[in-house]
């Protein structure tokens, strides 16, 4: 499609469109508005006043960011409405002297609000390569949610706002889907992996790539949010304050810088509640996910926050409080990882399975949207997860005063060491042959674990050969040398025959040649094994 053809569909014009409110400063005395025009309009401003008056309009000039996309070239305008009264209705219009928007309205928050609600959605991406991208379902779903929950003061996303963020076809579709909503309800975007994904030719889906600095996300939202993120990663990473709560929103690249920023941001905040949003879930619910690039690199930063809102899996899960390889009961002991589910009737690509770290999950496989309402009331936070037909999937109350979560459910604490792979319990596969700690070294029954994973395990006299993810290791009883596809390697300790006559291998030597890693959850007494791949192993059938 040529730019000339696109202009006739959803191209920018001199008249403002894609009008969006966002929270940049104190929501009790300010509001930021963003809009788009074509490049014939080089200056713009917002007019605003109290809604109940017919008085004089106040005027604020807008910052302008020009951006050339794959099918268009536009100017994006950003204006801060400041000096507002708390808990007051305002109306505004944006544009220039010749071309102006309709008049829209919003309401400021009370100063230092301790009671408020907001809407959480994630993974609303829609549309294939054939333009224009259709986000009409999202529009329908959001309008229904906000009509039933008018108490929501803003929308927080957990990423994958678009299906392919490196094309204007998708962003124009998204903003069309948000029309009639975000002109009056602020939206705080978190970036997902689809938001920085692109194709050299979008219309044929060829030449897939990821934009490290998410050029489309960054340019279109350049001044919508506080510019307080880590240096060189500012737009996708930002923090804002709403009443007694601080939010840290993170991107999908530069994790080592994000980690330091998360630590610093949490330390400098005196907020009662500290929430973060990161697209990739740490406590995932799917059978084959991985989060190695995020966790442990961002572990210290993430675990400074009360709740981490995530997406990516298109399914719902809420974890036990988790900190430093431990699962706990009380909110003060760790971070709750909250995976929101799909917000635009986009069934999951993975399937929910029981995981040791999750307190509650829901098998979200219907062609219906999910969303969550978060209610803050002083030192209490209520999280309610809904299916769009009104069913409540999960509701919990986190009470900082009593340091409790209700309904009460305890994190597991085992009397014998268990083994988990990607959060699964190996169950019957290792009954009677669990992990063993000998002289400070953890040993694992190599063959049984690999069979559980779907890999190959060959047992011969005094030997076990395991193969998974295209790699193999072979261990010999009482020997500290192992054969791998990378050659012979010296082990940290010899292979031993232990429970049920199985050959046991030191955990380090079991994991490293197969691109896996492990941790011991001492509070809960289990070994957790992870892999940095999302492959689904299966035995070869001749």
CA torsion, ordered 310, 314, 315, 318, to nearest 10 deg? 0
Q: Kindly report, residue by residue over 244-273, the tens digit of the pLDDT.
A: 999 999 999 999 999 999 999 999 999 999
Across 523-540, average pLDDT? 89
pLDDT computed for residue 250 by the predictor? 97
Rounded Cα gap, residues 320 and 326, in angstroms: 9
- Quote the DSSP letter at residue 320: P
pLDDT of residue 335: 98
**Residues 6 or more apart in contact with residue 59 via CB below 8 angstroms:** 45, 46, 47
Q: What is the pLDDT of residue 350?
A: 65
Find where tokens 């990663």 sit: 233
| pLDDT digit string, tens, across residues 420-446 | 999 999 988 788 899 999 999 999 999
pLDDT higher than threshold 90 for residue 462 = yes
Residue 351 has pLDDT above 80, yes or no: no
Task: Compute the mean pLDDT over every residue in the chain, rounded to the nearest whole number.
Answer: 95
At residue 429, what are phi and psi to the nearest 5 degrees? -60, -30
Cα separation, 136 vs 41, whole angstroms: 29
In whole angstroms, give the CA distance from residue 195 to residue 181: 21
For range 51-74, the mean pLDDT: 93
What is the rounded end-to-end Cα distance, in angstroms, of the chain? 47
**What pLDDT sits at residue 540?**
75
The 3 state secondary structure assigned to 433-466 is: CCCEEECCEEEEEHHHHHHHHCCEEEEECCEEEE
Six-digit token string for 80:
């801060």
Domains and their CATH numbers in the chain? 1-111 (2.60.40.380), 114-237+247-406 (3.60.21.10), 418-531 (3.30.457.10)
* 511 in Cβ contact with 517 (< 8 Å): yes
Look at residue 2 in the predicted model and tell me its pLDDT: 77
Q: Does position 129 have pLDDT exceeding 90, yes or no?
A: no
| Percentage of residues of the chain with pLDDT beyond 70 | 100
Give strand ranges (E) for 388-536. Answer: 392-399, 404-406, 418-421, 424-425, 436-438, 441-445, 456-460, 463-468, 471-476, 481-484, 487-490, 496-497, 503-506, 516-521, 526-531
Percent of the chain with pLDDT over 90: 85
Q: What is the pLDDT of residues 137-160, one digit of tens each?
A: 999 999 999 999 999 999 999 999
Return the pLDDT at 209: 93
Q: Which of 280, 526, 282 has its CA nearest to residue 411?
A: 526
DSSP character at residue 144? H
The pLDDT tens digits for 300-346 are 999 999 999 999 999 999 999 999 999 999 999 999 999 999 998 88
**Mean pLDDT of all residues in 30-54:** 96
pLDDT at 349: 64
pLDDT higher than 90, residue 291 = no
Does pLDDT of 238 surpass 80?
yes
Say how far apart CA 153 and CA 242 lie, in whole Å.
10
One-letter-per-residue 3-state SS of 152-202: EEEEEECCCCCCCCCCHHHHHHHHHHCCCCCCCCCEECCCCCCCCEEEEEH
CB atoms within 10 A of CB 426: 23
Of 497, 455, 448, 494, nearest to 472 (Cα)? 455
Q: Identify whether the C-beta of residue 317 lies closer than 8 Å to the C-beta of residue 342.
A: no
pLDDT the model gives residue 411: 98
Q: What is the pLDDT of residue 525?
A: 97
Q: Using an 8 Å Cβ cutoff, are 141 and 149 in contact? A: no
Which is higher by pLDDT, 466 or 132? 466
Q: Cα dihedral sign for 212, 536, 316, 295? A: negative
Arithmetic mean of pLDDT, 471-486: 96
């Amino acid at each position: 499609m040529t730019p000339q053809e696109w202009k006739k569909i959803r191209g920018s014009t001199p008249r403002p469109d894609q009008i969006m409110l966002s929270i940049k400063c104190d929501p009790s005395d300010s509001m930021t508005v963003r809009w788009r025009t074509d490049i014939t309009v080089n200056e713009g401003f917002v007019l605003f006043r109290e809604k109940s008056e017919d008085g004089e309009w106040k005027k604020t000039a807008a910052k302008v960011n020009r951006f050339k996309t794959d099918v268009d070239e536009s100017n994006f305008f950003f204006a801060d409405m400041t000096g507002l009264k708390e808990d007051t209705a305002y109306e505004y219009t944006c544009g220039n002297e010749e071309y102006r928007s309709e008049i829209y309205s919003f309401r400021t928050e009370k100063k230092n609000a301790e009671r408020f609600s907001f809407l959480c959605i994630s993974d609303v991406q829609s549309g294939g390569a054939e333009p224009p991208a259709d986000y009409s379902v999202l529009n329908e779903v959001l309008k229904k949610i906000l009509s039933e929950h008018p108490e929501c003061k803003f929308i927080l996303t957990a990423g994958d706002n678009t299906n392919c963020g490196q094309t204007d076809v998708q962003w124009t579709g998204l903003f069309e889907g948000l029309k009639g909503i975000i002109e009056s309800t602020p939206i705080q975007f978190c970036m997902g992996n689809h938001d920085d994904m692109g194709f050299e030719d979008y219309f044929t889906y060829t030449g897939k790539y990821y934009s490290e600095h998410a050029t489309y996300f960054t340019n279109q939202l350049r001044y919508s949010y506080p510019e307080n993120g880590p240096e060189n990663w500012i737009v996708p990473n930002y923090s804002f304050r709403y009443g007694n709560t601080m939010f840290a929103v993170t991107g999908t690249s530069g994790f080592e810088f994000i980690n330091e920023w998360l630590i610093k941001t949490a330390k400098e905040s005196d907020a009662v509640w500290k929430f973060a949003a990161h697209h990739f879930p740490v406590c995932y619910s799917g059978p084959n996910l991985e989060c190695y690039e995020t966790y442990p690199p961002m572990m210290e930063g993430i675990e400074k926050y009360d709740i981490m809102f995530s997406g990516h899996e298109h399914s719902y899960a809420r974890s036990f409080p988790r900190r430093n390889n431990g699962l706990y009961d009380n909110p003060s002991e760790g971070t709750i990882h909250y995976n929101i589910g799909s917000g635009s009737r986009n069934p999951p690509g993975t399937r929910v399975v029981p995981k040791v770290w999750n307190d509650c999950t829901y098998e979200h496989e219907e062609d219906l949207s999910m969303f969550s309402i978060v209610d803050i009331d002083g030192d209490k936070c209520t999280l309610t997860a809904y299916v769009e037909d009104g069913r409540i999937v999960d509701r919990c109350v986190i009470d900082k005063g009593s340091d409790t979560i209700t309904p009460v459910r305890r994190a597991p604490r085992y009397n014998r060491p268990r083994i988990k792979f990607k959060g699964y319990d190996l169950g019957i596969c290792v009954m009677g042959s669990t992990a063993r700690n000998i002289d400070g070294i953890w040993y694992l029954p190599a063959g049984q674990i690999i069979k559980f994973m779907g890999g190959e395990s060959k047992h011969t006299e005094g030997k076990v050969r395991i193969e998974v993810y295209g790699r193999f290791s072979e261990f010999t009883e009482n020997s500290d040398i192992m054969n791998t596809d990378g050659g012979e390697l010296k082990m940290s300790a010899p292979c031993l025959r232990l429970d049920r006559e199985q050959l046991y291998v030191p955990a380090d030597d079991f994991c490293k040649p197969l691109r896996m890693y492990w941790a011991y959850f001492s509070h809960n007494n289990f070994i957790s094994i992870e892999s940095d791949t999302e492959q689904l192993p299966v035995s070869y059938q001749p």
